[in-house]
Amino acid sequence: SQTIHQWPATLVQPVGSPLSLECTVEGTSNPNLYWYRQAAGRGLQLLFYSVGIGQISSEVPQNLSASRPQDRQFILSSKKLLLSDSGFYLCAWNPGTGQYEQYFGPGTRLTVT
């Protein structure tokens, strides 16, 4: 069966510090991968998605970036965090191949102070 991992689970970072969140998927090959952010009490905002290694599509221009160095690894980064970057960061995957269900990881709760 497939499993998706995210770490860390929670993070408190000062404004201006860097960020690196990691997501890995087990039990599948060549998944589509997604990063979402959910602000408190709000809906899901798609940040990036990837259909393959090194292929990143950005949905919202901001101070975040994403990379996919391996087939089942997706990384979200920032060089300098802003207060507005606080939120619940969710990684998701889907099998591709004409299937569109997305399966979410446990999430990382980021607080920028």
Partner 1 sequence: QKEVEQNSGPLSVPEGAIASLNCTYSDRGSQSFFWYRQYSGKSPELIMSIYSNGDKEDGRFTAQLNKASQYVSLLIRDSQPSDSATYLCAVKGRTGGFKTIFGAGTRLFVKA
Residues forming the site for partner 1 (CB under 8 A): 32, 42-44, 46, 49, 51, 57, 59, 90, 94, 96, 100-107, 109
How far apart are alpha carbons 37 and 35 in whole angstroms?
7
Closer CB to partner 1, 77 or 109, in the complex: 109
Radius of gyration of the chain (CA): 13
What's the closest the beta carbon of residue 79 comes to partner 1, in angstroms? 26
Q: Of 93, 113, 87, which is closest to residue 10 (Cα–Cα)? A: 87
What's the closest the beta carbon of residue 16 comes to partner 1, in angstroms? 27
Closer CB to partner 1, 38 or 73, in the complex: 38
What's the closest the beta carbon of residue 31 comes to partner 1, in angstroms? 10
Indicate the residue type of 106.
P
Structure tokens at 106: 């446990």
Q: Is the peptide bond before 14 cis (omega within 30 degrees of 0)?
A: no
Closer CB to partner 1, 14 or 54, in the complex: 54
